[in-house]
Amino acid sequence: MLSSSFLIQYLNHFSYLGIFIYFGSIGYLIPIPEEIILTILGYLSSIGHSNPWLVFLAALSGVMVGDNIFYWLCYRHGKYLLKFKNRVKKEVWDKYERLMVNNIGKTLILSRFFISFRFLGPVIAGSLRVRWHLFMAYDLPIVAAYLGAFIYLGIYFRHRYLLAISLVEQLRSFILAVILIALMIFIFRKFFWKTNGDSSGH
């Protein structure tokens, strides 16, 4: 993981266009948690480097453009879908597909917190040909809440940004743990509980 001081110096040179480009393309490829980037951008805006609302809008626009590109590339079931499938283990892909069918919102939230797998939500939504307006109805508010929360965290802890980054790491780990536990309970109840219930019925 890159040091926070390096990231602050790096992000200090970002314009609003740079933020848009980062979240629309580069952010999907490099293994740096978006939560850390957003918190630092919030911190920088709190000390007068930028306008927090414009930072939010630039990041939101970038993410939505990126998500829609991934969605439409895979909606057509072409070569790009095969490339994405080859990047992910089959059991992981199958798990996300089942989750998307049962709960699109939970899948989109879960994929945002996994480094290097942020594209999975829109990719699987496109591959399953989830209706675009339904995908957007879930994706837009989830992304907006996600971006806004971490930018605000950087603003709120502007005098203790290292504490903010530490809290983000802890919060991220906690959210991942909660989501994974909920997912395991869901899978158990959906498949194993049903199987046992059917068996006892016979």
Per residue in 6-40, pLDDT (tens digit) is 666 667 778 899 899 988 887 777 767 787 888 88
**pLDDT 10s digits, 39-64:** 888 888 888 888 999 999 999 999 99
CA distances from residue 50 to 10, 11, 26, 144 in whole angstroms, order as listed: 14, 11, 21, 19
- Whether residue 106 contacts residue 98, with contact meaning beta carbons closer than 8 Å, is answered with no
Q: Where are the alpha helices (DSSP H) in the chain?
A: 4-11, 16-24, 34-46, 52-75, 79-87, 90-102, 104-112, 120-127, 132-156, 161-187, 193-201
Q: What is the pTM of this model?
A: 0.71
- Whether residue 139 contacts residue 122, with contact meaning beta carbons closer than 8 Å, is answered with yes
- Whether residue 132 contacts residue 69, with contact meaning beta carbons closer than 8 Å, is answered with no
